[in-house]
Amino acid sequence: MIRILTTIRDCGSLGLIALLAAVMTATAALAQSSPMPVGFWSTGSGNETLYVGDGMCKFQAQGTLIVGKCSWKGSSAGGILTIMNTNQFKPAPIYENIVWVNGTTIRVWGDVFFRRN
């Protein structure tokens, strides 16, 4: 670290500018996140469905129904969709791990979902 600071000192203002540019680039890369997968999604067989709307979500699979307000925490390749499930005795958060494959395909806990109209 001292060596880096000494080099910056010796280079003067150009070294400081280069350091600031590197820090700003790294910060900008961290700020990027994937968009929320808004829309209606289902597996190829249609046995599992996911609806992500404006603040409301619904996930249905093999007799399981999760419905409630939802939020999104994006990452570089997908994110975590949190559904506050109101379809039980006491509301509880249900976390769905979502990875974008492309613009029309996502993976939810590894299961492939396709965007439907």
Residue 16: band (very low, low, confident or very high) from pLDDT cuts 50, 70, 90: very low
- Give the count of domains, the chain: 2
Reported as a single tens digit per residue, the pLDDT across 19-70 is 445 545 444 455 589 999 999 999 999 999 999 998 899 999 999 999 999 9
Pair (67, 26) in one structural domain: no
21 and 66 both lie in a single domain = no
| Whole-number percent of the chain with pLDDT over 90 | 66
Tell whether 26 and 81 lie within a shared domain. Answer: no
Closest C-alpha among 39, 58, 61 to residue 48: 61
Which two structure tokens, joined as six digits, stand for 89? 């005795």
Q: Are strands 92-102 and 56-61 parallel, antiparallel or unpaired?
A: unpaired
Give me the CATH number covering residue 77: 2.40.128.290
Length of the chain: 117
Same domain for 24 and 44? Answer: no
Residue 45 sits in the same domain as residue 73: yes
Written as one string, the DSSP assignment of 35-53 is PP--EEEE-TTSSEEEEE-
Put simply, whether the predicted model's pTM sits higher than 0.75 gets the answer no
Range of the domain at 49: 39-116
